[in-house]
Amino acid sequence: MRFIADFHLHSRYSRATSQNMHLESLNTWAKFKGIKLLGTGDFTHPTYFLELKTKLEPLGNGLFVLKDDPEGTYFILTCEVSNIFGYKGKTRRIHNIIFAPSFEVVEKINARLRRLGKLLADGRPTFGFPAKDLVKLILDTSENCLVVPAHAWTPWYSVFGANSGFDSLEECFEEQTPFIFAIETGLSSDPQMNWRLSALDHITLISNSDAHSANRIGREANIFQCPMDYQAIIEGIRKKNLKRILATMEFFPQEGKYHYDGHRQCGIQFTPEETRKHKAICPVCGKRLTVGVMYRVEELADRPQGFVPHTAIPAIHLIPLEEIIASALGYGRDTVAVQKEYARMVEGGVSEFDILLERTPEELTEFAPPRVLEGILRVRQEQIHITPGYDGVYGKIQIFPPEEEKGQEEERQQLSLF
């Protein structure tokens, strides 16, 4: 079975997360997107876990469906955990995704974690013990669980983060390293950047949305070809099975908010070369710059840009359909006009990923306004311009150059024809 999976997202019980992050809304948006398998997120939160047990029906294979929509989206039990601890005189902040095969296993995990921290405080709980101890705790609970370092290059909370991470998986996880089979590349890096590290050749690179609102699910995701079964999926990840994981779908990493280096308050944005020239110090205020993902990759890489390992899982760069529509119309992504046009395009069983990946230009002509169609084709060919993100500021994508903005009004008028 071929399907798209997004494993990492958050419930409304996590900080800075939309109230629409509940199972029913996730189920609806997954259908819009064309996602067949979603992580639940936040299974450590007691209130949310009760909702999961109340609303989800176990299928007996480690996956779940909504009791009210058994033909809808499949769910897999996941959460994200934060470990903040001291190591060699430095504070480390590491986030990990946990996969679990059943409610019973989650209950045991939560019982053990409850003694070590406050699970009610946040959907993504924080603990003061090392990340390696989390791996041992989880796998001692069930060997069928999987622990994956989250957004592995983000400066502040990740295994390779410039500000609080490590230089290798072995340094972070020590004796537990053999049980780390995958990492999540995160929005500010893509597989191509990770391929530059030979130490990651045996590691499976997965991509997920880390969504905090329902319409952001699938902004990164994974394409699988295997039985819709927990063990089949986990074994595909553990063994880096290229027959089971066909590809990952990626943000353009420049759009991520930590791709380049800089200092937001002073308006300073630097390439890695400029950062090295200034010794990572802001020329305006004299404080240390936030060193981004590109700099950090170059710092650890032992291969040139463009290197492709023979074990590489293919990666496809996409821009969400809402952003393409917004660019074509000249409106904000979350405006009513863009949302209405998005809803019109994905009605009748046509999903967003079907539009972005599968439909031919001739098929798209039947329901896509001309400028939106042109945007889709430009994204497929990666004919876009991006101003890279830095220090918490998302990058800006430009599908149509300024001289083509006059077409926006014509496109707005075209909508009435559809």
Q: What is the pLDDT of residue 413?
A: 65
Mean pLDDT value across the chain: 95
* pLDDT (average), residues 390-402: 92
pTM for the model stands at 0.95
Whether the predicted pLDDT of 411 surpasses 80: no
**pLDDT tens digit sequence for 254-287:** 999 999 999 999 999 999 999 999 999 999 999 9
Whether the predicted pLDDT of 174 surpasses 90: yes
Amino acid identity of residue 199, one-letter, is: A
Whether the predicted pLDDT of 398 surpasses 70: yes
CA angle, 260 then 264 then 265, to 5°: 160
**pLDDT tens digit sequence for 282-340:** 999 999 999 999 999 999 999 999 999 999 999 999 999 999 999 999 999 999 999 99
Whether the predicted pLDDT of 418 surpasses 70: no
Q: What is the pLDDT of residue 93?
A: 98
Q: How confident is the model at residue 405 (pLDDT cuts 50, 70, 90)?
A: low
For the ranges 137-141, 273-277, 325-329, 401-405, the lowest mean pLDDT is seen at 401-405
Whether the predicted pLDDT of 415 surpasses 70: no
- Rounded CA separation 384/237 (Å): 32
* pLDDT (average), residues 383-411: 84
Q: What is the pLDDT of residue 185?
A: 97
**Residues whose CB falls within 8 Å of the CB of residue 4, separated by 6 or more in sequence, listed in order:** 33, 34, 35, 36, 37, 218, 221, 222, 223, 224, 249, 353
HSE (CB half, 13 Å, CA atoms) of 164? 17
* pLDDT (average), residues 383-409: 86
Radius of gyration for the chain, computed over Cα atoms and rounded to the nearest angstrom: 21
Q: What is the pLDDT of residue 416?
A: 54
Q: What is the pLDDT of residue 78?
A: 99
Strands 182-184, 204-206: pairing is parallel
Q: What is the pLDDT of residue 260?
A: 96
> Higher pLDDT residue, 330 or 417?
330
What structural domains and CATH numbers belong to the chain? 2-255 (3.20.20.140), 321-417 (no CATH)
- Rounded CA separation 317/324 (Å): 13
* pLDDT (average), residues 153-168: 95
Q: What is the pLDDT of residue 164?
A: 93
Q: How confident is the model at residue 401 (pLDDT cuts 50, 70, 90)?
A: confident
Closest CA to 417 of 375, 382, 365, 354: 365
Amino acid identity of residue 383, one-letter, is: Q
* pLDDT (average), residues 28-33: 97
Whether the predicted pLDDT of 408 surpasses 90: no
Strands 64-66, 56-58: pairing is antiparallel
Token digits of residue 284? 């305006």
At what angle are helices 46-55 and 23-33 packed, to 10 degrees? 70
One DSSP character per residue, 192-249 reads HHHTT-GGGTTSEEE----BSSGGGTTSSEEEEES-S-HHHHHHHHHTT-TTTEEEEE
Percent of the chain with pLDDT over 70: 97
At what angle are helices 370-380 and 407-414 packed, to 10 degrees? 120
One DSSP character per residue, 353-382 reads HIIIII--HHHHHTTS-HHHHHHHHHHHTT
Contact 262, 271 (CB under 8 A): no
Whether the predicted pLDDT of 62 surpasses 80: yes
Q: How confident is the model at residue 348 (pLDDT cuts 50, 70, 90)?
A: confident
Q: What is the pLDDT of residue 403?
A: 73
* pLDDT (average), residues 188-214: 97
**pLDDT tens digit sequence for 357-378:** 999 999 999 999 999 999 999 9
Percent of the chain with pLDDT over 90: 94
